[in-house]
């Protein structure tokens, strides 16, 4: 199976490529569903594609927002520019945009976005007849549904399915709640994620007086009755009755902090890649174009290792190391579960540095979060198991960083390392300047840590509200 990774910017793209992605998906600065991601300016796409292609990695560009007339008008020039940049595929959710892409950029493959909710063989055949190379499964499909789609679809139509990351509570992401509550449309790439918010039910004392606090009053009751003192002391219970199911009540539960009733669990299918392959999936997709490079590297690396033959249980902790909500398996095996009592993230490590060089007995890094002399750090390196390094002989490079404004100051960490002299390195008790370069001594018998790797420290963190 192809491993398809998110790239919200150039750092994430490099991480995805280095850690084993077969393909990446990204957006230019228009028409993508993740407008809050850094994304790429249109003029930056050729360089991104060139980097990916140099490493044998394909590039898919998302064009999957809800299209309005002005959007369609702007698409021909947009698609032609991406075609000239040599992208491999468009991910499209709108039928009109799909037709425009076929007319003006016939070389580029067209993949049908999950926004189109392809959930059966008949729909897949229609899209294939219009020129689709691939369909991205509706997120509400089970493994058995995908197996049936594979049997009913043309053999040369590829099937892509989500395997990891944040899920949306709406049908294949087509949600109107953000637009209704905030005026920012999720279908145009500006979702404020109101499904993650805490909601509270207002106490309607009139309802309690009608039914004595014991539940909904049926339509056959003639008049309200007064509550007894005992009934008044009991907690209110809120129930929903749907008009076509009279007498069947659905509880809505909350405590004094509310409920996260629409909060979907994150997907984690690391232990079930064989089942996805057996169902006919050609490409597994990792969600996360709003994520940082450290997250992309960790998740892509974990899935790459399992696809290459490692046991899932040997790799599973890598997915706990990064920021995540409670994990589930979506609709693949049963109804998807929400996390109604929990909102937010937890992780078992903290990203502290990016490796920018390893030579002459020193590991040089770009600081992201504080670490200190004597700390035990873990490596996250492409195609290598994690190992522990102790910080010894820590030094700071004074000639590079956000506070260095000299006209001839080095522009990149790599340039700073090339130009550094012994006098530029200052002993430091801690690395506490973000985006500054530090170095520490590598053990003489330690294998080099390649540039593009990351360093992390074991520390449990939680950023969440619990009800």
What is residue 180's predicted lDDT score, i.e. its pLDDT? 47
What is residue 187's predicted lDDT score, i.e. its pLDDT? 52
What share of the chain has pLDDT > 90, as a percent?
66
Higher pLDDT, 244 or 467: 244
Provide the 8-state DSSP code for 28.
B
- Range 221-237 average pLDDT: 49
- Residue 413 has a CB neighbour count (10 Å cut-off) of 21
Is residue 347 scored above 60 in pLDDT?
A: yes
Is residue 199 included in any domain, yes or no?
A: no
State whether 59 and 18 are in the same domain: yes
Q: Which residue has the tokens 């509570």?
A: 169
**Domain termination residue (choose one: 340, 368, 385):** 340
**How many DSSP H helices and E strands does the chain contain?**
14, 22
State whether 283 and 432 are in the same domain: no
The CATH number assigned to the domain holding 394 equals: 2.40.30.10
b/e map 169-207, b = 16+ CB within 10 Å: bbebbebebbbeeeeebbbbbbbbbbbbbbbeeeeeeee
Whether the CB-CB separation of 96 and 60 falls below 8 Å is answered with no
State whether 334 and 349 are in the same domain: no
Is residue 188 scored above 90 in pLDDT?
A: no
What is residue 115's predicted lDDT score, i.e. its pLDDT? 87
Is residue 390 included in any domain, yes or no?
A: yes
State whether 174 and 210 are in the same domain: no
Its domain, for residue 220, covers 205-252
What is residue 341's predicted lDDT score, i.e. its pLDDT? 66
State whether 132 and 274 are in the same domain: yes
For residue 374 the two structure tokens come to 């004597």
State whether 171 and 270 are in the same domain: yes
State whether 351 and 281 are in the same domain: no
> d(Cα 237, Cα 218) in Å, to the nearest integer?
15
* Number of domains forming the structure of the chain: 3
State whether 129 and 246 are in the same domain: no
Q: Which residue from 91, 93, 154, 144 is spatially nearest to 121, judged by alpha carbons? A: 154
Q: Which residue from 129, 126, 81 is spatially nearest to 108, judged by alpha carbons? A: 81
Is residue 196 scored above 90 in pLDDT?
A: no
Enter the pTM of the model: 0.82
Is residue 197 included in any domain, yes or no?
A: no
State whether 333 and 355 are in the same domain: no
**Domain termination residue (choose one: 290, 318, 340):** 340
User: What confidence tens digit (pLDDT) does each residue in 303-345 have?
Assistant: 999 999 999 999 999 999 999 988 999 999 987 777 666 667 8
State whether 173 and 113 are in the same domain: yes
The CATH number assigned to the domain holding 285 equals: 3.20.20.70
- Residue 447 has a CB neighbour count (10 Å cut-off) of 12
What is residue 467's predicted lDDT score, i.e. its pLDDT? 46
Indicate the range of 116-130, 215-229, 385-399 predicted with least confidence. Answer: 215-229
| Confidence band, pLDDT 50/70/90 cuts, at residue 140 | confident
Is residue 257 included in any domain, yes or no?
A: no
User: What confidence tens digit (pLDDT) does each residue in 248-278 have?
Assistant: 665 565 555 555 666 778 999 999 999 999 9
Is residue 258 included in any domain, yes or no?
A: no
What share of the chain has pLDDT > 70, as a percent?
76
| Confidence band, pLDDT 50/70/90 cuts, at residue 29 | confident
What is residue 64's predicted lDDT score, i.e. its pLDDT? 83
- Residue 284 has a CB neighbour count (10 Å cut-off) of 22
How far, in Å, are 88, 281, 349 from residue 295 at the CA level? 24, 24, 11
Helices (H), 213-370: 229-233, 273-279, 293-307, 312-315, 318-321
State whether 6 and 140 are in the same domain: yes
- Identify the H or E element spanning 150: helix 143-152
For residue 189 the two structure tokens come to 């790439």
State residue 115 phi and psi, 5-degree precision.
-60, -20
For residue 342 the two structure tokens come to 């929990």
| Confidence band, pLDDT 50/70/90 cuts, at residue 419 | very high
State whether 227 and 277 are in the same domain: no
- Residue 412 has a CB neighbour count (10 Å cut-off) of 12
User: What confidence tens digit (pLDDT) does each residue in 422-449 have?
Assistant: 999 999 999 999 999 999 999 988 999 9
**Domain termination residue (choose one: 307, 340, 373):** 340
């Amino acid at each position: 199976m192809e491993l398809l990774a998110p790239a919200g910017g150039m750092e994430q793209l490099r991480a995805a490529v280095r850690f084993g992605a077969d393909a990446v998906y990204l957006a230019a600065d228009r028409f993508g569903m993740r407008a809050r991601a850094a994304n790429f300016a249109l003029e930056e796409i050729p360089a991104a594609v060139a980097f990916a292609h140099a490493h044998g990695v394909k590039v898919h560009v998302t064009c999957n927002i809800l299209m309005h007339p002005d959007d369609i008008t702007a698409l021909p020039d947009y698609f032609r520019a991406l075609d000239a940049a040599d992208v491999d595929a468009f991910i499209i959710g709108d039928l009109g945009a799909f037709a425009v892409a076929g007319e003006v950029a016939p070389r580029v493959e067209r993949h049908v976005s999950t926004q189109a909710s392809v959930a059966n063989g008949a729909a897949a055949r229609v899209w294939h007849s219009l020129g689709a190379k691939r369909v991205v499964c509706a997120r509400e499909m089970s493994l058995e549904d995908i197996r049936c789609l594979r049997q009913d679809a043309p053999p040369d139509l590829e099937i892509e399915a989500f395997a990891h990351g944040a899920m949306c509570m709406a049908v294949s992401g087509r949600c109107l709640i953000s637009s209704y509550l905030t005026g920012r449309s999720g279908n145009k790439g500006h979702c404020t994620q109101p499904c993650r918010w805490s909601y509270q039910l207002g106490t309607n004392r009139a309802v309690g007086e009608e039914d004595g606090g014991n539940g909904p009053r049926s339509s056959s009751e003639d008049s309200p009755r007064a509550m007894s003192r005992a009934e008044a002391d009991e907690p209110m219970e809120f129930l929903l009755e749907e008009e076509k199911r009279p007498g069947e009540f659905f509880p809505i539960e909350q405590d004094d902090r509310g409920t996260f009733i629409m909060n979907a669990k994150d997907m984690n299918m690391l232990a079930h890649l064989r089942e996805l392959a057996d169902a006919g999936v050609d490409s597994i997709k990792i969600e996360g174009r709003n994520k940082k490079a450290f997250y992309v590297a960790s998740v892509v690396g974990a899935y790459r290792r399992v696809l290459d033959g490692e046991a899932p249980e040997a790799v599973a902790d890598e997915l706990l190391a990064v920021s995540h909500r409670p994990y589930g398996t979506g609709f693949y095996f049963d109804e998807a579960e929400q996390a109604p009592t929990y909102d937010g993230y937890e992780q078992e490590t903290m990203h502290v540095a990016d490796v920018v060089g390893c030579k002459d007995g020193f590991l040089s890094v770009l600081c992201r979060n504080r670490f200190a002399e004597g700390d035990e750090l873990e490596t996250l390196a492409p195609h290598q198991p994690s190992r522990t390094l102790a910080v010894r002989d820590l030094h700071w490079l004074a000639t590079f960083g956000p506070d260095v404004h000299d006209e001839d100051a080095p522009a990149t960490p790599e340039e700073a390392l090339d130009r550094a002299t012994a006098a530029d390195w200052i002993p430091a008790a801690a690395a506490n300047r973000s985006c500054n370069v530090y170095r520490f001594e590598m053990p003489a018998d330690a294998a080099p840590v390649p540039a593009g790797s990351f360093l992390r420290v074991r520390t449990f963190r939680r950023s969440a509200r619990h009800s």
